Amino acid sequence: MSMITASTTHYLWSLQDVLGQGATASVFKARNKKSGELVAVKVFNIQSYHRPQDVQMREFEMLRKLNHSNIVRLFAVEELPSKEKVLVMEYCSGGNLLSLLEDPENAFGLHETEFLTVLQCIVQGMNHLRENGVVHRDIKPGNIMRQVGDDGKSVYKLTDFGAARELEDDEKFMSIYGTEEYLHPDMYERAVLRKPHQKSYGVSVDLWSIGVTLYHSATGSLPFTPFEGPRKNKLIMYKITTEKPMGAIGGIQRVEGGPIEWSYHLPHSCQLSQGLKALVVPVLAGIMEADQERCWGFDQFFTATADILQRQPVHLFSLQQAVAHCIYIHHYNTVSMFFEEVASQTGVGIQQQRLMYLGHDLPLEGNMKVVNLPSTSQTQPLILLSPPAGANAGLPFREPETSPVPPRFDLVADYSFSKATVGVVHQYKRIVQMLHTHRELLLQGFYTYM
């Protein structure tokens, strides 16, 4: 191994092309010496060999066992001249989910279509793990890789199976793994607070981590935040996660020693529609449950998420209220059920609903199937007229909160402030673009109506 490059029999990489680093290994971008194909190589350090032999071999065995499009593929296991093991894996061009969330453009969460892609990929990858009796034990955005296709669409893949092991639904384990912000409270108590206990852990620890990851993806922030952050106030972090009321999906402490503000809804600032929020919140509440006996099982999680992912989005713009909606409904449902969903979201009674599409009335019979509705989008929705006009709901936007300016020069604080400010600017840009779209829809709707 030179000071600049390293290689195995078939692969070569620069030591400067680091994709990620952990306690026991580093991941580099490498190329096949013969074909030039890009791969990712995971090189284990000396510290990794202090682990028991069965733990060292576990990741190799897990990756060989698993084969799914939402799990990073293992191509080969090779060795450096120094005999250190190297995993040769699929290279993902889009980095990981954490790097995407740290982009200021996503400071308030991912766009709805990207969030649904994340949800679908996590569900499909986890379903493969459960079919093979595997618990991951370190699910977090940094361990979810992103592959970007030629069409620009993302595919997310679970990676880093160093903590994974075989575990059936009714089995328990005692060892501690994971990253503290995404760690189940029972494991947090022992791993972070160093409090000894005899609790055992089941597959629900993965569900908790999935819940925190999905909340982070939807909002751009962590669900549980003590004053000064989870890494600086660990006791309050544990208090928030263990004392969380049933149904709550977030808790924040805004002042030192102050009360915890519980939230039962996703924040107004996140980019998900009200229709999708209403479906996602019960899932988050069910899997972010500290009591392992009350926490959902994977069967319930898979059933609920499949129900969300199988629904068809129908975009709707209420002309009188100047508000956009997205109705998520199954394609096999009747139009009568669609009318009920519209009434639920808009407050406009079924008898008062008049729908238009592309400037023309859209006559619908209640027994028709939703699959027969025309194709819609944010810029080409169904237009809802509701004579007599209902109460105006007002602008559905709120100004994003801005961080206070640091009182003194501090490189880290100034960087965080600048990054947060750029995120706020992106949020304002989205609001302006949405207002422009709504203005165009209002003009189209009123010209047609007149």
Between CA 36 and CA 300 the distance in angstroms is 44
**Do 143 and 159 meet the contact criterion of CB atoms below 8 Å apart?**
yes
Amino acid at position 101, single letter: L
Give per-residue burial for 53-84: e unless 16+ CB within 10 Å, then b: eeebebbeebbeebebebbbbbbeebebeeeb
Amino acid at position 270, single letter: C
Tally Cβ neighbours within 10 Å of residue 309.
Answer: 14
Which of 230, 264, 449 lies closest to 354, judged by CA? Answer: 449
Give per-residue burial for 421-449: e unless 16+ CB within 10 Å, then b: eebbebbeebbeebeeebeebeebbeeee
Q: Is 34 known as a binding-site position?
A: no
**54 has catalytic annotation:** no
Between CA 59 and CA 91 the distance in angstroms is 17
144 membership: H or E segment, kind and range: strand 144-148
Residue by residue, DSSP assigns 178-193 as: S-GGGS-HHHHHHHTS
Which of 164, 159, 166, 165 lies closest to 73, judged by CA? Answer: 159
Between CA 300 and CA 304 the distance in angstroms is 6
**Do 328 and 310 meet the contact criterion of CB atoms below 8 Å apart?**
no
Residue by residue, DSSP assigns 371-418 as: GGSPP--SSSPEEEE-SSP------S--PPP-PPPPSS--HHHHHHHH
Length of the chain: 450
Q: How far is CA 316 from CA 325, 355, 374, 417, 430, in A?
A: 5, 9, 12, 37, 19
Helix (H, G, I), strand (E, B) or coil at 58: helix
CA 178 to chain centre: 17
Torsion (CA) 286, 169, 216, 109 in degrees, nearest 10: -80
54, 103, 138, 206: the catalytic one is 138
- Take residue 12 and report the two structure tokens written for it: 């070569």
Q: Which residues contact 442 (CB under 8 A, 6 or more apart)?
A: 319, 322
Q: Which residues are annotated as a binding site?
A: 42
Summarize the annotated binding site for ATP as residue ranges: 42
Task: Name the residues annotated as catalytic.
Answer: 138
